[in-house]
Structure 1
Amino acid sequence: MKQQPEIKVCKLSCHFLRYSLIWPDENEEFNPSKRFYIKQLLFIVFFAIPNWLVLFSHLLLSLQEGTVDVSEDFAIFTAFFSYVGMMTMYVVKQKELASLLLDMSDFRTFSKPPLFDTMNKKLGYFVTFIFYYAVNATLIYNGVKIINIPKCRRERKIGEVCGTLTPVWTPFDTDHWLTLVLVMLYIFGFYVTVDRGIMFVALQSFEIACNIKLRIDQLNSMLLSCFEGNFEADRKRLNRCIQYHNLIISYSERVNGCFINEMFTFLATGGIIFGCLENQILKQLDLGAMLHIAGWIESVFLACLSGQIMIDASTSIAEAAYNSRWYDADPNLRKELILMIMRSQKPLFLETGPFNVLSFSLFVSIMKLSYSILAVLR
């Protein structure tokens, strides 16, 4: 029996994404069955659409009433489209991403980077921490709402459901304990599924960027020891460096193909969500809102950090090539090295569509946008 190829990059995050229904079972990662796509469709029909309807109903009635704070409504309403949009686009690109992760786990042509196991072990710990943070933060968020049920029932003005994870309105009475518990579990189940999904999509871009950086560091070491004064041996080593560089560039291009649409959706909504949650926190110092915004800031920062890692690491190739013993090389090899240096001066990056590229400067721009939205809401 032919052994199933194994993904070694992002292995744990892929495992956790199965809980969010956007990564197939291990035996069909590279060729998902129809059952995988049917699950997505059923999830949207029976969970996403009903949750959107009760959330939209609450927002609409709150706006009509005029005195109800809708900061949380707008934040979750915006996040809802980010959740569903990102998860849908991720599923569409899943096969391409699985192929990329498999190729990045193949060390037959070029050896495994020296720190590969250490780095991915640390990333595994971080992935596990993020998973439990997402679950526990959602539990605490919902727990705060449950504790505030008596206060909610005294102050409610539009007959909303008290105790649910998100503000919702239903056309039927939910004050009976059994009905309320069922509604709470239904809404909690949906959001705990999608919350983890969106965090892990951002986290995967960070994991991939770290693994590409490992390969760039390995390439830099190869360049530093490339020239020893023997023309034939130097040519072979330089050709191998050029091949490795081209492979790394192809990884970068494929990552962009897999994540560009998800990152555009993610970042287009991030500033709006930040501003709404900041306004909610300033009005009532809500613990749930603080946990919510912390999760979003962490996700957006990780995405921007991924792009910054790619930019910084890729431009270091030119420096490594210049620091090699090129002065001992044949003039023809020097010309090839110059071309490699010129290509290295164009950084690798993660695109976000109209938002340009992921970087620290983009993160600062998003935070500034959130402040502008907060100022409007205040």
Structure 2
Amino acid sequence: MITILGETLSYLRFNCIWPNKKDELNPPKSFYIKFILMLTSTSIILIGSGAHLTVSIQNNSNNITEDLVIIIAEIGVFYFIATFVSEQKDIAKIYLDLSDFDKYEKPHHFEKRNKQLLFLSRMYKTFIDIAIFNFCVYPFCTKHLCVKENETRSFKEVCGLLVTTWMPFDIEVFPIKQILYLWQCYTIVFTMKGAALISFAIMESMEHLVIRIQHFKVMLADAVDTQDEIVRMKRFSCCIEYHINIFDLGRRIDKYYTGCLFLHVLLSGALFGCIGYRFMQESLPLNALCIFMGWVLSLYIVCISGQHLIDEATSVAEAAYNSKWYDRDVQFQKNIIFIITRSQTPIVVHAGPFSYVSHIIILTIFKTAYSYLTLLNTASM
């Protein structure tokens, strides 16, 4: 039974991204049908913004930056969610193994760290809810500005919707406009919020692996300090098995997360570049700011945990070297060397085939965003 990520998984269930508790390891067809229906029914913003972008280009309009931001963001979250769900069975097995303490005892600080992650999960969800609420009320606060801009710049935008939208029929009439607005709110909740929650689930699972590594270092120190040779070798053998188990969990996390994390390499730079360009051309609207803040936070928490995982995995070698191995027999000292050598290779979670999540990828993405910003600024001259 999966006992970690309790709050996060319950949020994902609400968003049709994670199956019920009894079906987590073998979800029924109804789960995938519900998920496909959710994705299909939330495509209204992507369709409307795509159509609006096409019409704007045909009319030689310069008012296309909002369309680009929304289209990139929606394509990104659709890809992110779909890739995560495609690996759901294997990811659930990882969560199950991270919840299992039968073979290796539960870390003494597990409950404390689990409560901290639970608190962070609630805080993170609250932040995302506030961002989505602001996103949804934004059209009411700026409707008069939209009407004024239509008059002064000869635009024909539909005011009162979450994003710029075009449809091949009149959507200004009641109740079509109101229905479209509520549909767009539903789309934001189930796509952007769902993708943000997946990012936290990825971060949380990496932090649980860090807890295992920290526990391993305590077990290793205890094994080395054991005076009885037979008991010491028994504990050390258990440490070696535990270390292999941790590396296997790291390999699986890397394998099943790399597909969805590739999103950040593909689209984050382009999205941030478009938002930055829009900010240079005009004041940054609240809806674009909400997208930017939510996306940056989702990227940040994953990369920080990825770096934390790398640092903890490589610190095993230092912990082994700093133990009292020099007071033990030659054979034991040789065994310690194997652990030190193995720990030289860090546990990394790749974001596609070219990079892995760490502090470096944050800098790389913002460098890419600056390149896109420069390109858009040059093309507009």
- TM norm. shorter chain > 0.5: yes
The answer to whether the Cα contact below 8 Å between 1:17 and 1:197 also exists between their aligned partners in 2 is: yes
The match for 1:130 is 124
CA positional deviation for 1:154: 4.3
Query: 1:6-45, aligned counterparts within 5 Å?
Result: 7-45=2-40
After superposition, the C-alpha distances for 1:349-370 in whole angstroms (9 at most, x for unaligned) are 1011233211101111111111
The match for 1:222 is 219
Say if 2:116 is the partner of 1:118. Answer: no
The match for 1:174 is 171
Say if 2:66 is the partner of 1:67. Answer: no
Query: 1:1-378, aligned counterparts within 5 Å?
Result: 5=1, 7-48=2-43, 50-156=44-150, 159-227=156-224, 228-282=226-280, 283-378=282-377
2:38 aligned partner, one-letter code: F
CA positional deviation for 1:97: 1.0
1:327 aligned partner, one-letter code: Y
The answer to whether the Cα contact below 8 Å between 2:351 and 2:357 also exists between their aligned partners in 1 is: yes
CA distance in 1 between partners of 2:189 and 2:92 (Å)? 24
CA positional deviation for 1:229: 4.0
After superposition, the C-alpha distances for 1:337-356 in whole angstroms (9 at most, x for unaligned) are 10111000111110112332
1:181 is paired with a residue whose SS is: helix
After superposition, the C-alpha distances for 1:251-304 in whole angstroms (9 at most, x for unaligned) are 101111221100002331111111111222332232222222111111111121
CA distance in 2 between partners of 1:58 and 1:24 (Å)? 35
Q: Alignment RMSD, CA only? A: 1.6
CA distance in 2 between partners of 1:170 and 1:136 (Å)? 29
The answer to whether the Cα contact below 8 Å between 1:267 and 1:300 also exists between their aligned partners in 2 is: no
CA positional deviation for 1:111: 1.1
Q: Give me the TM-score of the superposition, normalised by structure 1.
A: 0.94
Aligned length: 372
Structure 1 gap ranges (5+): none
The answer to whether the Cα contact below 8 Å between 1:164 and 1:188 also exists between their aligned partners in 2 is: no
Structure 2 gap ranges (5+): none
CA distance in 2 between partners of 1:220 and 1:93 (Å)? 31
1:241 aligned partner, one-letter code: C
* Residues 206, 46 of structure 1: alpha-carbon distance in 2 compared, 3 angstrom cutoff: closer
2:357 is paired with a residue whose SS is: coil
CA positional deviation for 1:231: 2.2
Identity of aligned residues (%): 30
CA distance in 1 between partners of 2:372 and 2:195 (Å)? 22
1:42 aligned partner, one-letter code: L
The answer to whether the Cα contact below 8 Å between 2:42 and 2:190 also exists between their aligned partners in 1 is: no
1:225 is paired with a residue whose SS is: helix
* Residues 205, 46 of structure 1: alpha-carbon distance in 2 compared, 3 angstrom cutoff: closer
* Residues 159, 19 of structure 1: alpha-carbon distance in 2 compared, 3 angstrom cutoff: farther
CA positional deviation for 1:313: 0.3
